[in-house]
Amino acid sequence: MESLSNLTKTEKLIESAKIIEEKLLKILKECKADKSVIENQLQINEAVESFITKTGNIEFLSDEQYVAKLLEMCSLFKNAHISVNYSNFLYANGKRFLSQHLFYFDGKIYLIQENKFFEVKNIGGWLPEKLCKEFYKFLAYETNERRDLQLSKMLNFVLPYNVLGIDYSHIELLNGEILSCDSSDFFINDNSFFPPFKSIDEKLYDSMIIDNHILQIEYFSCSENNEGDFSKFLEDVKEKSKNHPIDCYILDIRGNPGGNSELILPLLEFLKEKNLKGVTLTDNRVFSSGTFAAYYAKKILSSILIGQKLGQGSARFGQSSGKIDLCDNLFIRYTEKFFDFRDVFKEEGPIKPDIEVPLAFEDICTKTDKTFDYARNYIENTF
């Protein structure tokens, strides 16, 4: 793709919309998205076309005003993150379609280049906090964790450098600082980069015996690739429990995005029957039915939650069932179902663990699993 840096601001805006639209429709078709998804995307594209028409000539805008206008336009494409699996949205047949260089963590933006992390001082003259503030206008989510996850996605979706005509010379690094990382590549939805460092291509759930008496269970998705997968997994767990003097468990649900909320119930009932004591590991990538896993673990097993806040709040909504149009290009989604977890979590807002183990950026870069280490020591010293 040729750089758009030589175009006028108006031409960049129009050309950016065309490029993103073409990529979205192409990937939607390659992912075999159903007809309703494609029709929904076409409606979004019509909204973008209307937006561009109403915007008119923008040459008089300052650079900051222009970037804000680009963000406003690209926010209309935001539903692409919801309609299509994000990794499929970015990748098809192993090819990268939209650049993904920026990573938002703990209030800072990092640039990933040649397997190194550079802390970003500004992008096109914009300080990270000011740029993120512009994004926040278009990211209304129940919790900050959910919002920040979408912010990382939008940073890379909205600012592919060729599309916006921003090259690396427009990104100023903070003191040229380089943070090393062992990962060969970085993907916002690839669990292998975050504790417990499991790839999205590995098993959805697994179990092992540690220290000869602790049953470690990894539950990274509330779903099955094939019918009966979880039943087979549960039988394997039961078999392992026969051959070892198990008295404790570590249930790891970090990175669980959801699926079937009741899938885990037979496993929890088994742990209850065995009268095992243990802990559940959480982080802010736990959403949807993954929240139910934490809820059931606490309700059925009285499990101690250890880790970081969940991405969902204690009073959360279910499946979207419609929308209300407020004005042009602005609407509110509403739901028919409403789940309230406050009876167990005793929280009004974001669900917090019983024991919080803060993560620093350096922990992620060095692949240090502080949460698991803490849980292991907690079991040895408590139960």
Considering 63-77, 93-107, 122-136, 165-179, the range whose residues carry the highest mean pLDDT is 122-136
pLDDT above 80 for 286: yes
> What's the pLDDT tens digit per position in 9-42?
788 777 777 766 676 666 556 655 556 666 666 7
User: For residue 326, what pLDDT is reported?
Assistant: 55
DSSP assignment of 289-326, as one string? HHHHHHHHHHHHH-PEEEES--SSBSEEE--EEEEEEE
Long-range pairs, 329-336, Cβ under 8 A, ≥24: 329/47, 329/50, 329/51, 329/76
User: For residue 165, what pLDDT is reported?
Assistant: 46
pLDDT above 90 for 117: no
The lowest-confidence range among 151-165, 204-218, 245-259, 266-280 is 151-165
316 vs 230, which has greater pLDDT? 230
Contact 151, 139 (CB under 8 A): yes
Secondary element (H or E) of residue 241: helix 229-242
Considering 159-168, 297-306, 363-372, the range whose residues carry the highest mean pLDDT is 297-306
User: For residue 128, what pLDDT is reported?
Assistant: 84
**Arithmetic mean of pLDDT over the chain:** 76
- Cα separation, 284 vs 37, in Å, equals 27
Secondary element (H or E) of residue 216: strand 214-219
What does the angle CA 333 – CA 147 – CA 284 come to, to the nearest 5 degrees? 120
User: For residue 95, what pLDDT is reported?
Assistant: 38
The lowest-confidence range among 17-21, 165-169, 171-175, 248-252 is 165-169
User: For residue 161, what pLDDT is reported?
Assistant: 40
User: For residue 75, what pLDDT is reported?
Assistant: 63
Q: Is the pTM of this model over 0.85?
A: no
> What's the pLDDT tens digit per position in 349-359?
789 999 999 98
The structural domains of the chain, ordered by start, are 9-180 (no CATH), 191-382 (3.90.226.10)
265 vs 96, which has greater pLDDT? 265
Task: Give the residue-averaged pLDDT of 134-148.
Answer: 71
- Give exposure, 161-199, as e/b (b: 16+ Cβ within 10 Å): bbbbbbeeebbebeeeeeeebebeebbbbbbbbbbbbbe
> What's the pLDDT tens digit per position in 51-102?
778 877 788 877 667 766 776 776 666 554 444 343 444 444 443 333 446 7
